[in-house]
Amino acid sequence: MPGNPLPDAEQLLTALIEQMRPEVGPKTGLIGIHTGGVWVAERLHQALKLKTPLATLDVSFYRDDYQSRGLHRDVKRSEIPFEVEGRDLILVDDVLYTGRTIRAALNELFDYGRPATVRLAALVDRDRRQLPIAAQFVGARLQLESGQNIGLRRDANGRLSLELRGERR
């Protein structure tokens, strides 16, 4: 999109693939967080040619702000089609911001078992973290003005792009 000050999401995805390639093994489990994290994880899973099926999490019920935000209208089903116990896992999210989504994902993940390791991949790591959460694989680190958010979009052809959005309440 002309005038978009954000980096190209497809280029960030390529950077993530190159960072992750030497770090994944045949039994590594990749888990995408709905919705944008699943889009990124689908692309990573295919590019990295992982044999373990792709897993997905919807952390809606595990969020610490569930009481105040309520349930959003498009809750997805979490699906982990492999044994979590003792496995090396990589959580995938589109934008790492406050860290609260990742905390919720870890809480849900441990309900399935105790993994050997959990690492985090994020297409974008932005500023203003509220929890001590850090991504091991990052497409880009960005600083935004107060009131700005980044969203991930996927077009009909599966192409990913980033967009600036107003503050989400």
Rounded Cα distance between 81 and 79, Å, is 6
State residue 162's pLDDT score: 97
- Its pTM stands at 0.92
Q: Which residue has the higher pLDDT, 16 or 4?
A: 16
pLDDT at 1 over 50: no
pLDDT in tens, 148-162: 899 999 999 999 999
Assigned CATH class of 9-166: alpha beta
pLDDT band of residue 18 (cuts 50, 70, 90) is very high
- Do 152 and 39 meet the contact criterion of CB atoms below 8 Å apart? yes
Q: 134 CB contacts (<8 Å, ≥6 apart)?
A: 120
End-to-end CA distance of the chain: 26
Domain boundaries, the chain: 9-166
Which residues, including other chains, have CB under 8 Å from residue 14's CB and lie 6 or more apart? none
Q: Tell me: the pLDDT tens digits for 58-94? A: 998 887 765 555 556 677 899 999 999 999 999 999 9
pLDDT digits (tens, 9 = 90+) for 34-63: 999 999 999 999 999 999 999 999 998 887
